[in-house]
Amino acid sequence: DAKTTQPNSMESNEEEPVHLPCNHSTISGTDYIHWYRQLPSQGPEYVIHGLTSNVNNRMASLAIAEDRKSSTLILHRATLRDAAVYYCILRPYSGNTGKLIFGQGTTLQVKP
């Protein structure tokens, strides 16, 4: 399974943008880039995913490098509720179903 590398932790100030990086240099052509976040004592929550093009949704934006070896999750205005562990995961395309292998993720702290 292709692996991802993320910084262990990041800090942000409330209402400022946050850019969470992820490296995935061994990504294959059919791997989707997924982002999830997990609040304490809760299951992970889907944030966003993409394949080649940048993606936007109500929660965040995903910027994917042209060579797909890295990506960045962008929270446009961080709030205290965005403090969580963020996981960047490659989902293999395997007949519509591929298992997700979690790395250590990035713990985001948001300061008021």
Partner 1 sequence: GAVVSQHPSWVICKSGTSVKIECRSLDFQATTMFWYRQFPKQSLMLMATSNEGSKATYEQGVEKDKFLINHASLTLSTLTVTSAHPEDSSFYICSADRAQAGAGYTFGSGTRLTVV
CB 23 to partner 1: min, Å: 17
Among 45, 65, 77, 111, binds partner 1 (CB under 8 A): 45
SS (H, E, C) 1-47: CCCCECCCEEEEECCCCEEEEEECCCCCCCCEEEEEEECCCCCCEEE
Is 91 a residue that touches partner 1 (CB under 8 A)?
yes
For residues 63 and 97, what is the distance between their CA atoms, to the nearest angstrom? Answer: 24
Q: Residue 87, Cβ neighbours under 10 Å: how many? A: 24
Instruction: State the number of binding residues for partner 1 (CB under 8 A).
Output: 25
Q: Are 105 and 95 in contact (CB under 8 A)?
A: no
Nearest to partner 1 of 99, 112 (CB atom): 99
Segment interacting with partner 1 (CB under 8 A) among 15-23, 66-74, 75-83, 96-104 = 96-104
Q: Which residues bind partner 1 (CB under 8 A)?
A: 32, 34, 36, 38, 41-46, 48-49, 51, 87, 91, 93, 96-97, 99-105
